[in-house]
Chains A and B, each alone.
Chain A
Amino acid sequence: MTNFLQQIVSGLASGGIYGSLALAIVIIHRSTGVINFAQGEMATLSAFVCWTLLDHGWSFWPAFAATLILSFAGGVVIQQVLIRPLQGSPLLGVVILTIGLLIAINGLTTWIWGGAAKQFTGPFSTSPINVGGVAFSKQDIGVIAVSIIVVVLVGLLFTRTKLGLGLRAAAVNPVEARLVGVRVGAMLAVGWGLAAALGGVAGVMAAPSLFLEPNMMQTVLLYSFAAAVLGGMDSPVGAVVGGLVLGVLLNLAGTYIHWIGGELRLATALAVILGVLLLRPAGLFGHTAVRRV
């Protein structure tokens, strides 16, 4: 029972990370139809930027805030310089561009920071905390807390602010949005910035436990894809819930199904992706068609 609870909590922590990155992916997909394959590498880059600030003596939370702002700016720049010129061209072309971006950012991070894994000291201590007789990792609880706060903030942004209304309108019906005066182009840029910032959150939260190196988020990207698909590719709520469910599911499957163990986590995520796409494409909360007509 003890182990069960611990697995759930640590599953929720990883799930929070997957959910944050999945939310980023869904935000971009909802507004533009594009699947941004570079989301993981952008998150890695954010984590490295944060590491550099920490290395220069910044304390954690200011460094984190600065990283998020820089990530937001980076997302906006990428959208304006690389994605906007391709508006109107076939989606597949844009997606291939994001793959190129994935490769390029991976190369860039390797070039600047080298391929060796770096130690990333997170804001939460790794010592355990005792709740009801069960030992939980303070780091896990911290990550869960940060994820919840971030997700709630993003949710409030979307539902209670004028900007959020504009973002939603631009995603749902861009033609009509322009007719009421919404600058759809600006909304798209903000969407990419927001997604990049969310990726930054995921990257920084992941770095302490995953060891910071250029390929760090490649597996997380796959888990986040699985989470987004599970939740329904167009549902922000689905992305977060999908992330949490997937995190817990992978942990429990790894612990209690011996054959899967620690080695087939990726394969399990793949199975989730294939299963959902083939059996119930809309996922848990989505409503758009994924199939070929």
Chain B
Amino acid sequence: MPLLELRDVEARYGEVKALHGVTLSVDDGDFVAILGANGAGKTTTLRAISGMVKTTGQLSFEGARLFRRTPEAMARRGVAHVPEGRGTFATLSVLDNLRLGAWTQRGTSQRDLARVFEFFPLLYQRREQQAGTLSGGEQQMLALGRAMMAKPRLLLLDEPSLGLAPLVVREIFDALLRMNENGTTIVVVEQNATLALKAAKHAFVLETGRVVLGGVAADLRADESVRRSYLGY
């Protein structure tokens, strides 16, 4: 039984339909990449999962069909959504940001904090600083660290590599792989298809709000159309 299942999910922003019937599933422990061009509906798909947009169609999490989802409720169910642009609390300190990650937990355990600092030593150095003063890469680490504090069942990331230097991106994805090894299910939306397909186990390709291709990441990497459209060769 998959951890997350979407069937014919549709979503609209006012008059504009963004998702025209998305069907995909994610198993427990999986690392899934969602690829597609700008405007294909990748971000909207994540928003549909975390409850930020209203949808029609079926969405099941941990086997249970979820109808009206709110972000707060999904967070309590163990879904951590790191939106595009990191979504850090800019005027709060790094430490406060991390503490907020543990909001759904029963208090902030020092052990959880220590684990985040072990993953990202830089955050420990900057723990009293305002989150908005961190560099892009550091903010992404902070966003990841905050997600870690929530001990999520499912981690959703929207464009984690956006605007970051290659070395920093590598660090981020290394951290993601470690998290996945420790059992966290990860769904990543990425424009950087090469990187995403290397890290992920499975992948889906979205075009104009629909899933047009899906399968094992290695297979997609070899696929002709994917190579031409998204990998550049």
Please give me the residue from chain A that is nearest to B108 by CB atom. Answer: A162
**Across the interface, which residues of A come within 8 angstroms of B87, CB to CB?**
173, 175-176, 179
Considering the chains assembled together, what is the distance between the CA atoms of A80 and B75 in angstroms?
24
Q: Is B42 an interface residue (CB 8 A)?
A: no
Q: Please determine whether A180 and B75 come into contact, CB atoms closer than 8 angstroms.
A: yes
**Across the interface, which residues of A come within 8 angstroms of B90, CB to CB?**
172-173
Q: Please determine whether B72 and A165 come into contact, CB atoms closer than 8 angstroms.
A: no
Q: Please determine whether B99 and A165 come into contact, CB atoms closer than 8 angstroms.
A: yes
Q: Is A181 an interface residue (CB 8 A)?
A: yes
Q: Is A280 an interface residue (CB 8 A)?
A: no
Q: Is A236 an interface residue (CB 8 A)?
A: no
Chain B residues 120 to 170 lying within 8 A of chain A, measured CB to CB, are: 146, 150
Chain A residues 182 to 239 lying within 8 A of chain B, measured CB to CB, are: 182-184
- The contact of A179 among B50, B91, B99, by CB within 8 Å, is B50
Q: Is A178 an interface residue (CB 8 A)?
A: yes
A-B residue pair count with CB separations less than 8 angstroms: 65
Q: Please determine whether B83 and A180 come into contact, CB atoms closer than 8 angstroms.
A: no
Q: Please determine whether A180 and B70 come into contact, CB atoms closer than 8 angstroms.
A: no
> Is chain A's interface secondary structure helix, strand, loop, or mixed overall?
helix
Q: Is B68 an interface residue (CB 8 A)?
A: no
Shortest Cβ distance from residue A266 to the other chain B in the assembled complex, whole angstroms: 34
Shortest Cβ distance from residue B76 to the other chain A in the assembled complex, whole angstroms: 6
- The contact of A180 among B52, B91, B150, by CB within 8 Å, is B150
Shortest Cβ distance from residue B66 to the other chain A in the assembled complex, whole angstroms: 16
Shortest Cβ distance from residue A120 to the other chain B in the assembled complex, whole angstroms: 40
Shortest Cβ distance from residue B82 to the other chain A in the assembled complex, whole angstroms: 8
Shortest Cβ distance from residue A41 to the other chain B in the assembled complex, whole angstroms: 31
Considering the chains assembled together, what is the distance between the CA atoms of A166 and B99 in angstroms?
10
Q: List the 5 closest A-B pairs by CB distance, nearest first.
A: A181-B75, A178-B71, A181-B104, A176-B87, A181-B103
- Ordered by A's residue number, 28 sampled pairs between the chains whose C-beta atoms are within 8 Å are A162-B99, A162-B103, A165-B99, A165-B100, A165-B103, A166-B100, A168-B92, A168-B96, A169-B92, A172-B91, A172-B92, A173-B87, A173-B90, A175-B52, A176-B83, A176-B87, A176-B89, A177-B89, A179-B83, A179-B87, A180-B80, A180-B101, A181-B71, A181-B75, A181-B76, A181-B103, A181-B104, A182-B100
